[in-house]
Structure 1
Amino acid sequence: MVNIRSLDPSASPLDYYGAELRRLREEAGLNQQQLGDIVYCTASLIGQIETAKKVPTREFSERLDAALMTGGLFSRLVGLVLKSQLPTWFQQYAEMEARAAYISTYQAQLVYGLLQTEEYARAVLATGLPDDLEGLVAARMERQRILSREHPPMAWVILDEAALHRPIGGPGVMRNQLAYLLGFRANRWVRIQVLPFAAGEHASLIGAFNSLRFESDPDIVYTEDLIAGHMTANPETVREAALRYAHLQASALSVEDSAELITRVMEEHYGDHSGPDPRAVA
Protein backbone atom coordinates (compact mmCIF):
# COMPACT_ATOMS: atom_id res chain seq x y z
CA MET A 1 0.00 0.00 0.00
CA VAL A 2 1.31 3.45 -0.90
CA ASN A 3 2.15 5.58 2.10
CA ILE A 4 0.03 8.74 1.94
CA ARG A 5 1.08 10.21 5.27
CA SER A 6 0.15 13.86 5.29
CA LEU A 7 2.90 16.41 5.74
CA ASP A 8 3.01 19.88 7.19
CA PRO A 9 5.14 21.69 4.56
CA SER A 10 6.08 24.33 7.12
CA ALA A 11 7.49 21.78 9.58
CA SER A 12 10.94 21.55 7.99
CA PRO A 13 12.73 21.89 4.65
CA LEU A 14 12.52 18.09 4.30
CA ASP A 15 8.74 18.11 4.80
CA TYR A 16 8.36 20.95 2.28
CA TYR A 17 10.48 19.07 -0.26
CA GLY A 18 8.35 15.94 0.19
CA ALA A 19 5.08 17.83 -0.11
CA GLU A 20 6.23 19.58 -3.28
CA LEU A 21 7.42 16.31 -4.79
CA ARG A 22 4.02 14.68 -4.17
CA ARG A 23 2.12 17.70 -5.48
CA LEU A 24 4.12 17.99 -8.69
CA ARG A 25 4.16 14.24 -9.29
CA GLU A 26 0.39 14.08 -8.99
CA GLU A 27 -0.01 17.13 -11.23
CA ALA A 28 2.06 15.30 -13.84
CA GLY A 29 -0.31 12.32 -13.61
CA LEU A 30 2.40 9.93 -12.44
CA ASN A 31 2.31 7.36 -9.69
CA GLN A 32 5.38 6.66 -7.59
CA GLN A 33 6.43 3.66 -9.68
CA GLN A 34 6.17 5.63 -12.93
CA LEU A 35 8.23 8.52 -11.61
CA GLY A 36 10.74 6.09 -10.14
CA ASP A 37 11.19 4.48 -13.54
CA ILE A 38 11.88 7.88 -15.08
CA VAL A 39 14.46 8.99 -12.50
CA TYR A 40 16.04 5.52 -12.08
CA CYS A 41 14.97 4.71 -8.53
CA THR A 42 12.36 2.60 -6.77
CA ALA A 43 8.80 3.60 -6.01
CA SER A 44 9.68 2.96 -2.38
CA LEU A 45 12.34 5.68 -2.45
CA ILE A 46 9.90 8.15 -4.00
CA GLY A 47 7.44 7.31 -1.23
CA GLN A 48 10.03 7.67 1.52
CA ILE A 49 11.07 11.10 0.27
CA GLU A 50 7.47 12.21 -0.15
CA THR A 51 6.81 11.28 3.48
CA ALA A 52 10.04 12.89 4.77
CA LYS A 53 11.48 9.56 5.83
CA LYS A 54 14.45 9.76 3.48
CA VAL A 55 16.77 12.64 2.64
CA PRO A 56 17.11 13.35 -1.10
CA THR A 57 20.50 13.76 -2.73
CA ARG A 58 21.49 16.52 -5.14
CA GLU A 59 21.74 14.03 -8.02
CA PHE A 60 18.22 12.77 -7.32
CA SER A 61 16.95 16.36 -7.19
CA GLU A 62 18.50 17.21 -10.54
CA ARG A 63 16.86 14.15 -12.10
CA LEU A 64 13.51 15.20 -10.62
CA ASP A 65 13.84 18.67 -12.10
CA ALA A 66 14.45 17.17 -15.53
CA ALA A 67 11.62 14.64 -15.23
CA LEU A 68 9.00 17.06 -13.89
CA MET A 69 10.30 20.15 -15.74
CA THR A 70 10.34 22.23 -12.55
CA GLY A 71 12.83 24.88 -13.64
CA GLY A 72 15.36 23.78 -11.05
CA LEU A 73 13.01 23.85 -8.03
CA PHE A 74 14.32 20.69 -6.38
CA SER A 75 17.95 21.55 -7.10
CA ARG A 76 17.38 24.76 -5.15
CA LEU A 77 15.43 23.12 -2.34
CA VAL A 78 17.89 20.32 -1.75
CA GLY A 79 20.54 22.73 -0.45
CA LEU A 80 18.17 23.82 2.32
CA VAL A 81 17.17 20.23 3.02
CA LEU A 82 20.74 19.03 3.35
CA LYS A 83 21.76 21.98 5.50
CA SER A 84 18.91 21.13 7.86
CA GLN A 85 20.40 17.65 8.34
CA LEU A 86 23.48 19.11 10.00
CA PRO A 87 23.47 19.13 13.82
CA THR A 88 21.60 22.17 15.05
CA TRP A 89 24.66 23.51 16.84
CA PHE A 90 26.69 23.25 13.60
CA GLN A 91 24.26 24.91 11.19
CA GLN A 92 25.22 28.49 12.06
CA TYR A 93 28.90 27.70 11.57
CA ALA A 94 28.18 26.09 8.18
CA GLU A 95 26.38 29.26 7.10
CA MET A 96 29.33 31.40 8.17
CA GLU A 97 31.79 29.02 6.50
CA ALA A 98 29.90 29.37 3.22
CA ARG A 99 30.23 33.18 3.44
CA ALA A 100 33.91 33.27 4.35
CA ALA A 101 36.52 34.68 2.00
CA TYR A 102 39.38 32.87 3.77
CA ILE A 103 39.32 29.67 5.82
CA SER A 104 42.27 28.47 7.84
CA THR A 105 42.15 25.27 9.86
CA TYR A 106 44.38 23.04 11.91
CA GLN A 107 43.18 19.44 12.22
CA ALA A 108 44.84 17.22 14.79
CA GLN A 109 43.10 13.87 14.24
CA LEU A 110 41.11 13.87 11.00
CA VAL A 111 41.13 15.20 7.47
CA TYR A 112 39.23 18.51 7.33
CA GLY A 113 35.53 18.03 6.55
CA LEU A 114 35.63 20.08 3.34
CA LEU A 115 38.36 17.78 1.99
CA GLN A 116 36.90 14.41 2.96
CA THR A 117 35.86 11.79 0.43
CA GLU A 118 32.37 10.40 0.78
CA GLU A 119 33.64 7.03 2.06
CA TYR A 120 35.94 8.67 4.61
CA ALA A 121 33.15 10.99 5.77
CA ARG A 122 30.78 8.04 6.16
CA ALA A 123 33.29 6.21 8.37
CA VAL A 124 33.89 9.31 10.52
CA LEU A 125 30.22 10.19 10.91
CA ALA A 126 29.26 6.61 11.72
CA THR A 127 31.26 6.82 14.96
CA GLY A 128 28.56 9.08 16.39
CA LEU A 129 25.91 6.36 15.86
CA PRO A 130 23.53 8.77 14.08
CA ASP A 131 19.90 7.96 13.31
CA ASP A 132 20.36 8.95 9.66
CA LEU A 133 23.95 8.38 8.60
CA GLU A 134 23.28 8.84 4.90
CA GLY A 135 21.59 12.18 5.53
CA LEU A 136 24.65 13.40 7.41
CA VAL A 137 26.97 12.18 4.66
CA ALA A 138 24.90 13.92 1.99
CA ALA A 139 24.95 17.12 4.07
CA ARG A 140 28.74 16.99 4.36
CA MET A 141 29.14 16.48 0.62
CA GLU A 142 26.79 19.41 0.01
CA ARG A 143 28.86 21.58 2.35
CA GLN A 144 31.92 20.93 0.18
CA ARG A 145 30.31 22.66 -2.79
CA ILE A 146 31.68 26.00 -1.62
CA LEU A 147 35.10 24.91 -2.88
CA SER A 148 33.85 24.39 -6.43
CA ARG A 149 31.76 27.52 -6.86
CA GLU A 150 32.82 30.31 -9.20
CA HIS A 151 34.35 32.39 -6.40
CA PRO A 152 35.45 29.92 -3.71
CA PRO A 153 37.06 30.89 -0.42
CA MET A 154 40.79 30.52 0.00
CA ALA A 155 41.25 27.46 2.22
CA TRP A 156 44.54 26.88 4.04
CA VAL A 157 44.63 23.50 5.77
CA ILE A 158 47.23 22.20 8.21
CA LEU A 159 46.87 18.49 8.96
CA ASP A 160 48.74 16.81 11.77
CA GLU A 161 50.67 13.83 10.42
CA ALA A 162 48.52 11.66 12.71
CA ALA A 163 45.56 12.27 10.39
CA LEU A 164 47.46 10.57 7.56
CA HIS A 165 48.25 7.44 9.57
CA ARG A 166 44.92 6.79 11.27
CA PRO A 167 43.21 4.21 8.96
CA ILE A 168 39.70 5.63 8.97
CA GLY A 169 37.41 3.28 7.07
CA GLY A 170 40.20 0.83 6.27
CA PRO A 171 43.20 0.86 3.90
CA GLY A 172 41.23 1.31 0.67
CA VAL A 173 39.28 4.28 1.99
CA MET A 174 42.47 5.87 3.30
CA ARG A 175 44.34 5.42 0.05
CA ASN A 176 41.52 7.11 -1.85
CA GLN A 177 41.38 9.87 0.75
CA LEU A 178 45.09 10.64 0.54
CA ALA A 179 44.98 10.50 -3.26
CA TYR A 180 42.08 12.97 -3.09
CA LEU A 181 44.18 15.34 -0.99
CA LEU A 182 46.96 15.17 -3.56
CA GLY A 183 44.47 16.20 -6.22
CA PHE A 184 44.20 19.62 -4.61
CA ARG A 185 47.75 20.47 -5.69
CA ALA A 186 46.25 21.85 -8.91
CA ASN A 187 43.67 23.93 -7.04
CA ARG A 188 44.93 27.48 -6.53
CA TRP A 189 42.33 28.09 -3.80
CA VAL A 190 43.33 25.21 -1.53
CA ARG A 191 46.70 24.76 0.17
CA ILE A 192 47.54 21.77 2.36
CA GLN A 193 50.44 21.55 4.77
CA VAL A 194 51.31 18.66 7.07
CA LEU A 195 52.61 19.20 10.59
CA PRO A 196 55.08 16.30 10.93
CA PHE A 197 55.64 14.21 14.03
CA ALA A 198 59.20 15.56 14.00
CA ALA A 199 57.88 19.00 14.93
CA GLY A 200 57.36 17.70 18.46
CA GLU A 201 55.47 20.03 20.77
CA HIS A 202 53.67 22.79 18.88
CA ALA A 203 51.35 25.76 19.25
CA SER A 204 48.06 23.85 19.21
CA LEU A 205 48.58 20.72 21.26
CA ILE A 206 45.25 21.61 22.82
CA GLY A 207 43.48 20.57 19.61
CA ALA A 208 41.92 21.60 16.30
CA PHE A 209 40.45 24.99 15.43
CA ASN A 210 39.15 26.92 12.43
CA SER A 211 39.41 30.62 11.63
CA LEU A 212 37.10 32.37 9.19
CA ARG A 213 37.86 35.71 7.57
CA PHE A 214 35.23 37.76 5.74
CA GLU A 215 35.19 40.65 3.30
CA SER A 216 33.59 43.02 5.79
CA ASP A 217 32.50 41.13 8.93
CA PRO A 218 34.74 40.43 11.95
CA ASP A 219 36.89 37.31 11.91
CA ILE A 220 35.56 34.23 13.72
CA VAL A 221 37.29 31.37 15.53
CA TYR A 222 35.53 28.02 15.78
CA THR A 223 36.33 25.12 18.10
CA GLU A 224 34.53 21.94 19.14
CA ASP A 225 34.23 19.98 22.35
CA LEU A 226 32.72 16.53 22.88
CA ILE A 227 29.15 17.77 22.55
CA ALA A 228 29.02 20.88 20.37
CA GLY A 229 30.88 23.63 18.55
CA HIS A 230 31.63 27.19 19.63
CA MET A 231 32.15 30.36 17.59
CA THR A 232 33.58 33.61 18.84
CA ALA A 233 34.54 36.96 17.34
CA ASN A 234 36.29 38.08 20.52
CA PRO A 235 39.28 40.12 19.27
CA GLU A 236 41.69 38.64 21.83
CA THR A 237 40.71 35.08 20.90
CA VAL A 238 40.96 35.85 17.19
CA ARG A 239 44.41 37.39 17.70
CA GLU A 240 45.60 34.42 19.78
CA ALA A 241 44.33 31.97 17.13
CA ALA A 242 46.12 33.93 14.38
CA LEU A 243 49.37 33.86 16.37
CA ARG A 244 49.12 30.13 17.00
CA TYR A 245 48.29 29.47 13.36
CA ALA A 246 51.33 31.42 12.23
CA HIS A 247 53.50 29.23 14.47
CA LEU A 248 51.84 26.09 13.10
CA GLN A 249 52.53 27.21 9.53
CA ALA A 250 56.16 27.85 10.42
CA SER A 251 56.50 24.37 11.95
CA ALA A 252 54.66 22.56 9.16
CA LEU A 253 56.24 21.19 6.01
CA SER A 254 55.98 23.27 2.86
CA VAL A 255 53.07 22.57 0.53
CA GLU A 256 55.42 20.65 -1.79
CA ASP A 257 57.08 18.63 0.99
CA SER A 258 53.67 17.95 2.49
CA ALA A 259 52.51 16.43 -0.80
CA GLU A 260 55.60 14.24 -0.83
CA LEU A 261 54.86 13.01 2.70
CA ILE A 262 51.22 12.32 1.84
CA THR A 263 52.38 10.33 -1.19
CA ARG A 264 54.88 8.37 0.86
CA VAL A 265 52.34 7.48 3.56
CA MET A 266 49.80 6.53 0.90
CA GLU A 267 52.19 4.15 -0.83
CA GLU A 268 53.92 2.70 2.24
CA HIS A 269 50.85 2.25 4.44
CA TYR A 270 47.99 1.89 1.99
CA GLY A 271 49.71 0.83 -1.23
CA ASP A 272 48.21 -2.66 -1.36
CA HIS A 273 44.64 -2.91 -0.16
CA SER A 274 43.56 -5.88 -2.27
CA GLY A 275 43.43 -8.19 0.76
CA PRO A 276 40.72 -8.38 3.43
CA ASP A 277 40.21 -5.55 5.88
CA PRO A 278 42.08 -6.66 9.04
CA ARG A 279 39.21 -5.29 11.12
CA ALA A 280 36.63 -7.50 9.42
CA VAL A 281 35.03 -10.33 11.35
CA ALA A 282 33.54 -13.56 10.04
Structure 2
Amino acid sequence: MANIRDLDPSASPLDYYGSELRRLREAANLKQAALGEIVFCTASLIGQVETARKVPTRDFSERIDAALGTGGVFSRLVGLVLRSQLPSWFQAYAEMEARATHISSFQPQLVYGLLQTEAYARAVLKAGWGEKLDDAVAARLERQRLLHRERPPLVWVVLDEAVLHRPFGSPEIMREQLSRLLEFHDRREVRIQILPFSAGQHPATVGAFNVLRFEGDPDVVYAESYGSAHVTANPETASDCAHRYDHLQAAALSMEASAALIARVREERYGDHPEPDGRAVA
Protein backbone atom coordinates (compact mmCIF):
# COMPACT_ATOMS: atom_id res chain seq x y z
CA MET A 1 0.00 0.00 0.00
CA ALA A 2 1.25 3.49 -0.79
CA ASN A 3 2.52 5.50 2.12
CA ILE A 4 -0.31 7.78 3.23
CA ARG A 5 0.34 11.06 4.95
CA ASP A 6 -2.09 13.76 5.92
CA LEU A 7 -2.06 16.79 3.67
CA ASP A 8 -2.98 20.35 4.50
CA PRO A 9 -5.05 21.31 1.44
CA SER A 10 -4.30 24.99 2.08
CA ALA A 11 -0.52 24.48 2.05
CA SER A 12 -0.12 24.69 -1.72
CA PRO A 13 -1.97 24.01 -4.98
CA LEU A 14 -0.15 20.65 -5.16
CA ASP A 15 -1.36 19.66 -1.68
CA TYR A 16 -4.90 20.69 -2.53
CA TYR A 17 -4.78 18.70 -5.76
CA GLY A 18 -3.53 15.61 -3.90
CA SER A 19 -6.13 15.83 -1.16
CA GLU A 20 -8.95 16.26 -3.69
CA LEU A 21 -7.72 13.31 -5.74
CA ARG A 22 -7.71 11.06 -2.68
CA ARG A 23 -11.14 12.33 -1.55
CA LEU A 24 -12.82 11.80 -4.90
CA ARG A 25 -11.11 8.45 -5.49
CA GLU A 26 -12.30 7.16 -2.14
CA ALA A 27 -15.79 8.57 -2.79
CA ALA A 28 -15.82 6.45 -5.95
CA ASN A 29 -14.81 3.37 -3.90
CA LEU A 30 -11.66 2.88 -5.95
CA LYS A 31 -8.30 1.67 -4.68
CA GLN A 32 -5.21 3.36 -6.05
CA ALA A 33 -4.40 0.32 -8.17
CA ALA A 34 -7.92 0.24 -9.64
CA LEU A 35 -7.81 3.93 -10.58
CA GLY A 36 -4.33 3.42 -11.99
CA GLU A 37 -5.60 0.69 -14.30
CA ILE A 38 -8.36 2.96 -15.58
CA VAL A 39 -6.03 5.88 -16.36
CA PHE A 40 -3.10 3.70 -17.50
CA CYS A 41 -0.62 4.40 -14.73
CA THR A 42 0.71 2.66 -11.62
CA ALA A 43 -0.82 2.69 -8.16
CA SER A 44 2.46 4.16 -7.00
CA LEU A 45 2.00 7.21 -9.24
CA ILE A 46 -1.52 7.75 -7.90
CA GLY A 47 -0.12 7.54 -4.39
CA GLN A 48 2.70 9.97 -5.13
CA VAL A 49 0.26 12.55 -6.52
CA GLU A 50 -2.12 12.07 -3.59
CA THR A 51 0.72 12.71 -1.14
CA ALA A 52 2.06 15.73 -3.08
CA ARG A 53 5.31 13.97 -3.92
CA LYS A 54 4.68 14.04 -7.67
CA VAL A 55 3.47 16.91 -9.83
CA PRO A 56 0.59 15.81 -12.11
CA THR A 57 0.65 16.52 -15.83
CA ARG A 58 -2.24 17.97 -17.81
CA ASP A 59 -2.72 14.64 -19.63
CA PHE A 60 -2.91 12.80 -16.29
CA SER A 61 -5.44 15.35 -15.02
CA GLU A 62 -7.68 14.98 -18.06
CA ARG A 63 -7.66 11.20 -17.70
CA ILE A 64 -8.49 11.47 -14.00
CA ASP A 65 -11.40 13.79 -14.79
CA ALA A 66 -12.76 11.27 -17.29
CA ALA A 67 -12.31 8.34 -14.92
CA LEU A 68 -13.93 9.98 -11.89
CA GLY A 69 -16.50 12.08 -13.79
CA THR A 70 -15.42 15.28 -12.06
CA GLY A 71 -16.57 17.70 -14.73
CA GLY A 72 -13.05 18.97 -15.35
CA VAL A 73 -12.03 19.70 -11.75
CA PHE A 74 -8.46 18.44 -12.12
CA SER A 75 -7.99 19.92 -15.59
CA ARG A 76 -8.72 23.30 -14.03
CA LEU A 77 -6.58 22.70 -10.95
CA VAL A 78 -3.51 21.51 -12.84
CA GLY A 79 -2.84 24.96 -14.26
CA LEU A 80 -2.45 26.36 -10.74
CA VAL A 81 -0.32 23.39 -9.72
CA LEU A 82 2.06 23.77 -12.65
CA ARG A 83 2.34 27.52 -12.22
CA SER A 84 3.29 26.96 -8.59
CA GLN A 85 6.29 24.94 -9.82
CA LEU A 86 7.79 28.00 -11.49
CA PRO A 87 10.56 29.77 -9.55
CA SER A 88 9.00 31.94 -6.86
CA TRP A 89 10.53 35.08 -8.36
CA PHE A 90 8.95 34.25 -11.74
CA GLN A 91 5.41 33.38 -10.65
CA ALA A 92 4.15 36.96 -10.44
CA TYR A 93 5.39 37.62 -13.98
CA ALA A 94 3.71 34.45 -15.28
CA GLU A 95 0.39 35.65 -13.88
CA MET A 96 0.78 39.04 -15.57
CA GLU A 97 1.88 37.36 -18.81
CA ALA A 98 -1.33 35.34 -18.80
CA ARG A 99 -3.41 38.55 -18.50
CA ALA A 100 -1.55 40.67 -21.04
CA THR A 101 -3.18 41.69 -24.32
CA HIS A 102 0.17 42.54 -25.97
CA ILE A 103 3.60 41.05 -25.30
CA SER A 104 6.77 42.48 -26.82
CA SER A 105 9.92 40.46 -26.18
CA PHE A 106 13.57 40.90 -27.10
CA GLN A 107 15.70 37.77 -26.67
CA PRO A 108 19.45 37.85 -27.42
CA GLN A 109 20.28 34.38 -26.04
CA LEU A 110 17.29 32.02 -26.22
CA VAL A 111 14.03 31.44 -28.01
CA TYR A 112 11.27 33.11 -25.98
CA GLY A 113 9.68 30.62 -23.57
CA LEU A 114 6.23 30.86 -25.15
CA LEU A 115 7.67 29.69 -28.48
CA GLN A 116 9.89 26.84 -27.27
CA THR A 117 9.39 23.19 -28.17
CA GLU A 118 9.36 20.69 -25.33
CA ALA A 119 12.76 19.28 -26.29
CA TYR A 120 14.37 22.73 -26.61
CA ALA A 121 12.87 23.83 -23.27
CA ARG A 122 14.26 20.70 -21.63
CA ALA A 123 17.73 21.38 -23.04
CA VAL A 124 17.63 25.02 -21.90
CA LEU A 125 16.44 24.18 -18.39
CA LYS A 126 18.93 21.34 -18.08
CA ALA A 127 21.77 23.67 -19.09
CA GLY A 128 20.69 26.00 -16.29
CA TRP A 129 21.04 23.19 -13.74
CA GLY A 130 17.37 23.47 -12.87
CA GLU A 131 15.99 21.12 -10.24
CA LYS A 132 12.98 18.86 -10.91
CA LEU A 133 13.52 19.07 -14.64
CA ASP A 134 10.29 17.29 -15.67
CA ASP A 135 8.20 19.62 -13.49
CA ALA A 136 10.01 22.71 -14.82
CA VAL A 137 9.42 21.66 -18.43
CA ALA A 138 5.74 20.95 -17.76
CA ALA A 139 5.36 24.37 -16.13
CA ARG A 140 6.96 26.11 -19.11
CA LEU A 141 4.70 24.30 -21.58
CA GLU A 142 1.69 25.21 -19.46
CA ARG A 143 2.50 28.90 -19.96
CA GLN A 144 2.13 28.39 -23.71
CA ARG A 145 -1.58 27.58 -23.37
CA LEU A 146 -2.31 31.31 -23.51
CA LEU A 147 -1.43 31.20 -27.22
CA HIS A 148 -4.25 28.74 -27.85
CA ARG A 149 -7.07 30.41 -25.97
CA GLU A 150 -10.00 32.03 -27.78
CA ARG A 151 -8.52 35.53 -27.54
CA PRO A 152 -4.73 35.14 -27.35
CA PRO A 153 -2.47 38.14 -26.83
CA LEU A 154 -0.56 39.69 -29.69
CA VAL A 155 3.01 38.43 -29.22
CA TRP A 156 5.82 40.23 -31.00
CA VAL A 157 9.28 38.70 -30.58
CA VAL A 158 12.64 40.01 -31.78
CA LEU A 159 15.36 37.36 -31.63
CA ASP A 160 19.03 38.10 -32.07
CA GLU A 161 20.46 36.07 -34.95
CA ALA A 162 22.78 34.41 -32.41
CA VAL A 163 19.76 32.56 -31.01
CA LEU A 164 19.46 30.61 -34.26
CA HIS A 165 23.11 29.54 -34.16
CA ARG A 166 23.45 28.75 -30.44
CA PRO A 167 22.65 25.01 -30.15
CA PHE A 168 20.74 23.65 -27.20
CA GLY A 169 20.54 19.89 -27.33
CA SER A 170 21.09 17.97 -30.54
CA PRO A 171 20.89 19.24 -34.13
CA GLU A 172 17.54 17.48 -34.34
CA ILE A 173 16.25 19.49 -31.40
CA MET A 174 17.41 22.73 -32.99
CA ARG A 175 15.90 21.80 -36.34
CA GLU A 176 12.57 21.11 -34.63
CA GLN A 177 12.76 24.40 -32.77
CA LEU A 178 13.46 26.45 -35.88
CA SER A 179 10.63 24.62 -37.64
CA ARG A 180 8.36 25.64 -34.77
CA LEU A 181 9.33 29.27 -35.28
CA LEU A 182 8.42 28.97 -38.96
CA GLU A 183 5.03 27.50 -38.03
CA PHE A 184 4.17 30.77 -36.30
CA HIS A 185 4.75 32.73 -39.52
CA ASP A 186 1.15 32.29 -40.66
CA ARG A 187 -0.41 33.07 -37.27
CA ARG A 188 -1.44 36.71 -37.11
CA GLU A 189 -1.19 36.85 -33.31
CA VAL A 190 2.51 35.90 -33.29
CA ARG A 191 5.12 38.03 -35.08
CA ILE A 192 8.79 37.03 -35.19
CA GLN A 193 11.66 39.18 -36.43
CA ILE A 194 15.38 38.41 -36.44
CA LEU A 195 17.91 41.08 -35.52
CA PRO A 196 20.77 40.21 -37.91
CA PHE A 197 24.45 40.35 -37.05
CA SER A 198 24.75 43.03 -39.72
CA ALA A 199 22.63 45.39 -37.60
CA GLY A 200 25.70 45.96 -35.44
CA GLN A 201 25.15 48.07 -32.34
CA HIS A 202 21.62 48.38 -31.04
CA PRO A 203 19.83 49.99 -28.05
CA ALA A 204 19.26 46.75 -26.08
CA THR A 205 22.80 45.57 -25.41
CA VAL A 206 22.00 45.27 -21.68
CA GLY A 207 20.04 42.08 -22.37
CA ALA A 208 16.60 40.54 -22.75
CA PHE A 209 13.44 42.36 -21.72
CA ASN A 210 9.68 42.08 -22.16
CA VAL A 211 7.02 44.76 -22.27
CA LEU A 212 3.49 43.70 -21.29
CA ARG A 213 0.39 45.72 -22.12
CA PHE A 214 -3.04 45.31 -20.57
CA GLU A 215 -6.57 46.59 -20.94
CA GLY A 216 -6.99 49.35 -18.39
CA ASP A 217 -3.70 48.82 -16.55
CA PRO A 218 -0.23 50.40 -16.94
CA ASP A 219 2.42 48.74 -19.07
CA VAL A 220 4.85 46.47 -17.23
CA VAL A 221 8.52 45.89 -18.04
CA TYR A 222 10.20 42.62 -17.10
CA ALA A 223 13.92 41.84 -17.16
CA GLU A 224 15.85 38.95 -15.63
CA SER A 225 19.12 38.76 -13.79
CA TYR A 226 20.77 35.75 -12.18
CA GLY A 227 18.18 33.99 -10.01
CA SER A 228 15.86 36.98 -9.83
CA ALA A 229 13.71 39.30 -11.91
CA HIS A 230 13.03 43.00 -12.13
CA VAL A 231 9.41 43.98 -12.78
CA THR A 232 8.30 47.60 -12.92
CA ALA A 233 5.32 49.64 -14.00
CA ASN A 234 7.26 52.90 -13.77
CA PRO A 235 5.95 54.99 -16.70
CA GLU A 236 9.37 56.40 -17.60
CA THR A 237 10.96 52.94 -17.68
CA ALA A 238 8.08 51.51 -19.70
CA SER A 239 8.28 54.38 -22.18
CA ASP A 240 12.05 54.00 -22.50
CA CYS A 241 11.81 50.25 -23.13
CA ALA A 242 8.99 50.71 -25.64
CA HIS A 243 11.17 53.26 -27.46
CA ARG A 244 14.11 50.85 -27.48
CA TYR A 245 11.84 48.11 -28.79
CA ASP A 246 10.71 50.33 -31.65
CA HIS A 247 14.36 50.76 -32.63
CA LEU A 248 14.95 46.99 -32.45
CA GLN A 249 11.99 46.33 -34.73
CA ALA A 250 13.23 48.92 -37.21
CA ALA A 251 16.73 47.40 -37.25
CA ALA A 252 15.44 43.81 -37.50
CA LEU A 253 14.62 41.99 -40.71
CA SER A 254 11.04 41.98 -41.94
CA MET A 255 8.94 39.01 -40.94
CA GLU A 256 9.30 37.53 -44.42
CA ALA A 257 13.07 38.02 -44.51
CA SER A 258 13.29 36.69 -40.95
CA ALA A 259 11.44 33.51 -41.92
CA ALA A 260 13.78 33.07 -44.88
CA LEU A 261 16.82 33.41 -42.60
CA ILE A 262 15.40 30.94 -40.06
CA ALA A 263 14.78 28.43 -42.85
CA ARG A 264 18.27 28.91 -44.26
CA VAL A 265 19.98 28.42 -40.89
CA ARG A 266 17.82 25.38 -40.24
CA GLU A 267 18.96 23.71 -43.44
CA GLU A 268 22.58 24.85 -43.52
CA ARG A 269 23.39 24.39 -39.83
CA TYR A 270 20.98 21.70 -38.64
CA GLY A 271 19.94 19.90 -41.80
CA ASP A 272 20.94 16.36 -42.76
CA HIS A 273 24.08 16.49 -44.89
CA PRO A 274 25.04 13.15 -46.49
CA GLU A 275 28.65 12.05 -46.43
CA PRO A 276 30.26 10.75 -49.68
CA ASP A 277 29.27 7.19 -48.77
CA GLY A 278 25.64 8.23 -48.57
CA ARG A 279 25.30 8.28 -44.80
CA ALA A 280 23.55 11.29 -43.37
CA VAL A 281 25.15 13.31 -40.62
CA ALA A 282 23.63 16.24 -38.75
TM-score range, shorter-chain basis?
over 0.9
User: Residue 105 in 1 paired to residue 92 in 2?
Assistant: no
1:231 maps to: 231
CA 1:148–1:236: 2 relative to 1, 3 Å:
same
Please say which of residues 49-58 and 265-274 is displaced more in the overlay: 265-274
Say which SS state the counterpart of residue 168 (structure 1) adopts: coil
Q: In structure 1, how many angstroms separate the alpha carbons of the residues matched to 2:80 and 2:135?
A: 13
Say which SS state the counterpart of residue 155 (structure 1) adopts: strand
Task: Tell me which amino acid in the other structure corresponds to 1:257.
Answer: A
2:12 maps to: 12
Q: In structure 2, how many angstroms separate the alpha carbons of the residues matched to 1:2 and 1:276?
A: 47
Task: Tell me which amino acid in the other structure corresponds to 2:185.
Answer: R
Query: What displacement does 1:92 show?
Result: 0.7
1:110-138 Cα deviation digits (max 9, x unpaired)? 00000001111111112232331111111
1:3 maps to: 3
Q: In structure 1, how many angstroms separate the alpha carbons of the residues matched to 2:12 and 2:4?
A: 18
Name structure 1 gaps, 5 residues minimum.
Answer: 278-282
Q: In structure 2, how many angstroms separate the alpha carbons of the residues matched to 1:269 and 1:254?
A: 22
Q: In structure 1, how many angstroms separate the alpha carbons of the residues matched to 2:139 and 2:271?
A: 30
Q: Moved runs in structure 1, 4+ residues, more than 2 A? A: 127-131, 273-277
1:156-215 Cα deviation digits (max 9, x unpaired)? 000001111111011111000000110001211000000011111111111110000111
Q: In structure 2, how many angstroms separate the alpha carbons of the residues matched to 1:25 and 1:275?
A: 51
Q: In structure 2, how many angstroms separate the alpha carbons of the residues matched to 1:55 and 1:130?
A: 16
2:121 maps to: 121
1:56 maps to: 56
Q: In structure 2, how many angstroms separate the alpha carbons of the residues matched to 1:267 and 1:276?
A: 12
Query: What displacement does 1:241 show?
Result: 0.4
What percentage of aligned pairs have identical amino acids? 68
Say which SS state the counterpart of residue 212 (structure 2) adopts: strand
Task: Tell me which amino acid in the other structure corresponds to 1:186.
Answer: D
Counting matched residue pairs gives 277
1:38-68 Cα deviation digits (max 9, x unpaired)? 1111112111111111111111101100000
User: Residue 270 in 1 paired to residue 270 in 2?
Assistant: yes
Say which SS state the counterpart of residue 119 (structure 1) adopts: helix
1:280 maps to: none
User: Residue 33 in 1 paired to residue 33 in 2?
Assistant: yes
Query: What displacement does 1:276 show?
Result: 8.1
Q: In structure 2, how many angstroms separate the alpha carbons of the residues matched to 1:176 and 1:43?
A: 35
1:206-225 Cα deviation digits (max 9, x unpaired)? 11100001111000110001
1:77 maps to: 77
